């Protein structure tokens, strides 16, 4: 087995060491850091820019970039009013979105934690994390693993598994921001999404409970179109299916350079955020699109949404792939 490229990325403000693991297959390389199981860099040989928005400074990931590239769990996105029901029992969680909603599990989200390296070689790394029962008021001792791997054909793959010893909620997502051109913003990119429905939101970005048809709306990306800040306002979940499916292609993002990222996933939804308030140090807003394969957000609070409950004896299993091709 070939040896992994593992280096020290930095030390957190609390004194914890963070490692960076760089994976390589042909012309594709990807780097993952143990803080947040974060996809820190994705590069294709021959291009002078990174395809995902990251930083070489750990301090940035402890600040404004805490969600850039990270694996957000146990539950990504929002709980309306910081509440959810698990097995018929009402729970309350940290209201970290302006004191109104729970966003990305607040302070106990996996994006803030240092993961352990379970195993690694030149083309793959598996990271592991234990979440204790009651942390953030989430029930169950949970074990989570995230495996990142690179493959011929410019393919990056992420596999997330989770188990629990008590009924709980689990809905993970990689929270990377993408720009195929390395440009100041994503304007001029073309976007296609294989979704006929989406979830409208309230003024505070929580799902209203409606499952809306995209036909005739600005949310219809089924045929693909160029996007601009003027006509594209995104912080929504696109409904791919009514539950987890076999791995299938669901989204295509193409830069003005002709480079296309195809995303395939097993998940029932995919969240897009336009980056209007996401700003890397020294850069502007709208630099990249956040694209998060996930189950539907706020699911416990809406009877018609696919369940995100995880039971003892079950294994949560998400697979998401990113493929890069040049026309």
Q: 218 pLDDT band (50/70/90 cuts)?
A: very high
pTM metric for this prediction: 0.97
Residue where the block lists tokens 């949404």:
305
pLDDT digits (tens, 9 = 90+) for 38-88: 999 999 999 999 999 999 999 999 999 999 999 999 999 999 999 999 999
Mean pLDDT within 113-135: 98
Task: Check: CB of residue 261 under 8 Å from CB of residue 176.
Answer: no
The pair of three-digit structure tokens given for residue 297, joined into one six-digit string: 């957000």
Residue 200, helix vs strand vs coil: coil
What pLDDT is recorded for position 2? Answer: 72
Q: 1 pLDDT band (50/70/90 cuts)?
A: low
pLDDT digits (tens, 9 = 90+) for 144-172: 999 999 999 999 999 999 999 999 999 99
Q: What ranges do the domains of the chain cover?
A: 5-326
Which DSSP state fits 277? T
Distance in angstroms (rounded) separating the CA atoms of residues 291 and 322: 11
Q: 307 pLDDT band (50/70/90 cuts)?
A: very high
> Does the domain formed by 5-326 have CATH 2.70.98.10?
yes
Work out the percent of the chain whose per-residue pLDDT is above 70.
100
What pLDDT is recorded for position 121? Answer: 96
Mean pLDDT within 109-131: 98
CA dihedral 80, 86, 92, 95 (to 10 degrees): -40
Distance in angstroms (rounded) separating the CA atoms of residues 181 and 102: 34
Task: Check: CB of residue 170 under 8 Å from CB of residue 142.
Answer: yes
The pLDDT mean for the chain works out to 97
pLDDT digits (tens, 9 = 90+) for 264-303: 999 999 999 999 999 999 999 999 999 999 999 999 999 9
Distance in angstroms (rounded) separating the CA atoms of residues 239 and 196: 7
Task: Check: CB of residue 13 under 8 Å from CB of residue 57.
Answer: no
Q: Work out the widest C-alpha separation in the chain, in whole angstroms.
A: 54
pLDDT at 113 over 90: yes
| Strand 28-33 versus strand 38-44 pairing type | antiparallel
Total count of residues recorded for the chain: 327
């Amino acid at each position: 087995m070939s040896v992994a490229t593992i280096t020290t990325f930095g030390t957190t403000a609390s004194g914890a060491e963070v490692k960076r693991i760089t994976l390589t297959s042909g012309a594709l390389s990807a780097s993952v850091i143990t803080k947040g199981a974060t996809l820190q860099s994705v590069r294709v040989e021959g291009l002078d820019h990174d395809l995902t928005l990251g930083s070489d400074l750990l301090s940035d990931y402890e600040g404004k970039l805490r969600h850039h590239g990270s694996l957000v769990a146990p539950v990504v996105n929002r709980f309306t009013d910081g509440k959810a029901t698990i097995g018929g029992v009402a729970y309350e969680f940290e209201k970290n979105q302006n004191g109104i909603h729970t966003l990305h599990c607040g302070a106990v989200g996996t994006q803030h934690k240092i993961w352990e390296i379970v195993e690694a070689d030149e083309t793959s790394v598996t990271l592991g994390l234990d979440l204790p029962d009651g942390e953030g008021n989430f029930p169950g001792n949970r074990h989570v693993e995230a495996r990142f791997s690179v493959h011929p054909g410019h393919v990056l793959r992420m596999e997330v598994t989770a188990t629990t010893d008590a009924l709980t909620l689990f809905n993970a997502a990689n929270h990377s921001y993408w720009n195929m051109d390395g440009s100041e913003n994503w304007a001029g990119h073309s976007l296609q999404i294989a979704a006929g429905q989406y979830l409208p939101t309230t003024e505070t970005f929580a799902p209203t409970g409606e499952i809306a048809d995209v036909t005739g709306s600005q949310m219809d990306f089924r045929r693909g179109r160029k996007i601009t800040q003027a006509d594209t306002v995104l912080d929504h979940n696109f409904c791919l299916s009514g539950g987890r499916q076999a791995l299938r292609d669901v989204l295509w993002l193409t830069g003005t350079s002709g480079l296309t990222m195809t995303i395939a996933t097993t998940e029932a939804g995919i969240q897009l955020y336009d980056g209007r308030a996401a700003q890397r140090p020294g850069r502007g807003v709208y630099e990249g699109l956040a694209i998060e394969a996930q189950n539907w957000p706020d699911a416990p609070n809406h009877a018609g949404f696919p369940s995100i409950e995880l039971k003892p004896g079950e294994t949560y299993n998400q697979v998401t792939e990113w493929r890069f091709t040049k026309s």
